[in-house]
Amino acid sequence: MLGLIAFAAIFFGLLWRGWRALARAQDIYTPVIWGSVGALLLYLVHGLFDSPYWKNDLSVEFWLVAALQVIAIRGARADRAGLSQSPEYHPPDRSATYYIR
């Protein structure tokens, strides 16, 4: 029972966080989050009629989708906060650098 409760908490937590992140996501993160939420809903509906999680390849796929969603949500959050922008490139000052020839 404890495993079932823990898995349900993870599963529905992923769905809830993904759904909430869709409103804030921009650029590439929007389709990634849509796809991961859609895949999780597919697991939920398909799981009502069959047991897709207990097959090894599908359980690995589930955890990859979960990881992809977590990464996309964090990336969207960082992008929205302006943290993911790379700093401007400034070439090194060659006047103070000594080169060995």
Q: Please give the residue range of the domain that contains residue 47.
A: 12-80
pLDDT in the model for residue 25: 76
Please list, residue by residue across 41-64, b when 16 or more beta carbons sit within 10 angstroms of its beta carbon and e when fewer do: eebeeeeeeeebeeeeeeeeebee
Rounded to the nearest 5 degrees, what angle is found at the Cα of 74, between the Cα atoms of 64 and 68? 15
pLDDT tens readout for residues 37-88: 999 888 888 877 877 666 677 788 888 999 989 988 888 877 766 655 555 5
Mean pLDDT value across residues 3-18? 90
Q: Is residue 57 part of a domain?
A: yes
Q: How confident is the model at residue 94 (pLDDT cuts 50, 70, 90)?
A: low
Q: Round to whole Å and give the CA distance between 64 and 61.
A: 5
Q: Is residue 20 part of a domain?
A: yes
Q: Considering its fold, how many domains does the chain have in total?
A: 1
pLDDT in the model for residue 56: 72
